[in-house]
Amino acid sequence: MKRLVLVAGLVAALVSCSKKETPKDPQPDMAAKTKEAPKDPHPQMGDTAAMFDPANLPAAGTAPPAVTVTKELDPMWSAPLKDLKGQPTTLASYKGKALMLVNVASKCGNTPQYATLEALQKKYEPKGFTVIGFPCNQFGGQEPGSPEEIATFCATNYGITFPIMEKIEVNGTNRHEVYKALTPIKDASGHDGDIRWNFEKFVVSADGTQITRFSPKTKPDDPTVIAAVEAALPKK
């Protein structure tokens, strides 16, 4: 009898355990509640993506002394140019605006500067400012593309809205008239003459009388560059 009682007790215990609800794995619920991380809107840009936003530009610092010019720039304004669509133009079309003239390239270590050039354009264009890009293939063959290829590269990778001209030469015997006028200007270190590499910058005041030159390594969002841009804007 005792054995029968023990067996009956074990059977009852097993039946009772089988009726208990097995606890659910919490992982599926947690996974369901976890939202998918948003994708990077500019995955090809990596660390430069944040530079598209004008709000990320730093405050102006102190601009280096500008160089005062008088008649030296006269040939620059009337020199014939063509934009990437082959339309003829001149820098005289932009007189009255503060300008940043930059020799650009698509395959250079400095190419990500396009991002902050566009940020400057967005922030200061309403105040009378524009960047103008001059593609040049004289530095390591880093701008080999056709006008159509350059336009596609700039639009696809950087959303460029500022004007870009057809390729020119900025050094040597075929130096374009624009750069014949610009290269005698000294930067803060005392350098004048030949353009040193892609993305050398010249900030020209809206009245055309002041120029500030910056080396290729000085980025467009450097506080000294921003200060020069603000000083060059049209006076109210």
- Please answer whether residues 101 and 148 qualify as being in contact, where contact means their C-beta atoms are separated by less than 8 angstroms: no
Distances (CA, A) of 161 to 18, 39, 77, 115, 133: 71, 24, 22, 11, 11
Pairing verdict, β 129-135 and 98-104: parallel
Measured over the CA atoms of residue 60, residue 108, residue 141 and residue 153, the dihedral's sign is: negative
Distances (CA, A) of 74 to 47, 80, 120, 151, 178: 40, 13, 26, 29, 10
Measured over the CA atoms of residue 216, residue 175, residue 99 and residue 53, the dihedral's sign is: negative
Rounded Cα–Cα distance for residues 132 and 120 (Å): 12
Residue 123 makes CB contacts below 8 A (sequence gap 6+) with 54, 57
Angle formed by the axes of helices 113-124 and 147-158, nearest 10°: 80
Q: Is 108 a catalytic residue?
A: yes
Strand partners, 68: 210
Catalytic residue among 17, 108, 136, 154: 108
Strand partners, 204: 99, 211
**Which residues are catalytic, by number?**
108
